[in-house]
Amino acid sequence: MRGREESMKVLALYLPQFHEVEENNIWWGKGYTEWTALKTAKKYSELQRQPRVPLNMNYYDLSDVKVIRRQAELARKYGIDGWVIYHYWFKGKKMLYKPVELLLENSDIDINYCFSWANESWRKNWFMGDQELLIKQEYGDEEDWKNHYSYLRQFFHDPRYIKQGNSPVFIIYNTLDIGSDFNRMFGYYRKLAKEDGFDDLYIVQTLKFPLDERKLDVDAYFLYEPAYSSMILQQRFILFYYRFKALLIRNLNKLLGTSMVERKRDFERIAKRIIENEKQYDKPVIRGFFTDWDNTPRRATGRGSQFYYNSSPNNFKIYFDKLVKRVKENGEEYMIINAWNEWGEGAHLEPDEEYKFGYLEAVKDVIEKYR
C-alpha cells in the first residue's frame, strides 16, 4: 500500500463518533456523542484506569474542521502516517460521515487515510446493555452496491487515500456478516473500480473473533488487536475457561442487578503473544497493536465488558518496539494501531490527563529508531 513514498508506515484506527447526529439524538438522547459514554465511566477495580479525561478537558467536536486539522498535525508530528477511518453504510444510508467529508473537502489537511467498513448492525448493547436493534446492516443487490461505490469513489480518487499501487485499500471489519454473497459482491465492487480507472480494489479482511475461516476473495489480512491474539491465538481450553467465567458473571449481573466486569486481562501477556505470533498466512498480513483496552464506559450493565491492566506508555513502547522491528525484518509495509481516538474503549493515542503525550512520544521514539 502506498500513500507517501516512504518505508514502513504506521496507521491508527480512527472513530468519527465525536459529533452530534440525528440518529444518536433519537436513540440515546439529545447531544449524545462518544464523550457521553466516557463521562459516565466508573472504576470497577483498582487495576483499572478510569475515568479517562482528555488532556485539558478537550472534549472536541469533529463537525469542526479545525479540530480535524489539529488532529492531523498532531498525528504527523508524532510519526503516525495515516488513519484507518471507520466507515458506516447501511444499504444506502450513511452515518457518522461528517468528519471524513470535511477531510475530503479540505485537501490541505496533511494526512493519508483509508476506510474500514464497520459493517455491523447497531444495537443498544453499545451503551445501555440490551439487545434492541437500532439499525440493521443490510447489503442489498447490485444496484445498492453500485450506489455504495458511487459514494466511495470520491474518496478513492483523493490523492491522500491509501492505495496499493493503483488500487484503493478497503478494509472489511466483519466479513462473516456479509455471508455467502461476499465474493460476488466484492467482485462487483472490483469491476466498478476498474471501470473507474483503478487497477482494482485492495480488499483487506479483518481477522478477529469470531474468525471467518472461509476462503474469500481478499488481498490481505489485518490482525485486529487485541481481539485477534487474545481470542484466536488463545489455547482452546483457556479460551473456554474465560468464556465460561464471563458467562457466569453475565448471568450474576442479570440476577443481582450488578455490573461486574466480565473479563480482566494482562496487557503484557497479550502483547507478548502478538510479538510471538509465528503463524504463517496465505496472504499478506497487516499486523495490529493496541495502546490499551477498556470498554466499560460503553457497557453500563457489564454485558460484554472487559479491561486490560498493566498498560502504560512505557509498556506499550517496549512491545511496540519489538513489533516494529519484526514488521521491518519481514518487509511488511504497514501496521495499524488500535487506536487514535477510541476513548470509549480505552484505546487512544490522543493525550489524556494522566499520561499526557506519553503514547504518542512512545510511537515517535520507536519510529525514529527504525527509520
3-state SS, residue 347: strand
Residues in a beta bridge with 117: 87, 172
Which domains can be identified in the chain, with CATH numbers?
9-370 (3.20.20.80)
Q: How many secondary structure helices (H) and strands (E) does the chain include?
A: 11, 16
Say what the pTM is: 0.93
Q: Which three cell numbers stand for residue 230?
A: 487474545
pLDDT for 3? 41
pLDDT in tens, 136-163: 999 999 999 999 999 999 999 999 999 9
Q: What is the mean pLDDT of the chain?
A: 91
CA angle 105, 109, 115 (to 5 degrees): 70
Q: How confident is the model at residue 2 (pLDDT cuts 50, 70, 90)?
A: very low
Quick one: pLDDT band at residue 260, thresholds 50, 70, 90? low
* Other Cβ atoms closer than 10 A to 127: 21
Please name the amino acid found at residue 332.
E
Residue 306: pLDDT band by 50, 70, 90 thresholds?
A: confident
Q: CA dist 257 to 39, 42, 126, 249, 294, Å?
A: 22, 16, 18, 11, 21
Q: What is the identity of the amino acid at 36?
A: T
DSSP code at position 49? -
**Contact present, 7 and 336 (Cβ < 8 Å):** no
**Peptide bond before residue 51 is cis, with ω within 30 degrees of 0:** yes
Nearest to 202 by CA among 175, 168, 162, 172: 168
Distance, CA of 325 to CA of 95 (rounded, Å): 38
Query: Of 131 and 15, which is predicted with more confidence?
Result: 15
C-alpha dihedral sign at 26, 29, 35, 38: negative
- Euclidean distance between CA atoms 350 and 362, whole angstroms: 12
What letter would DSSP give residue 92? T
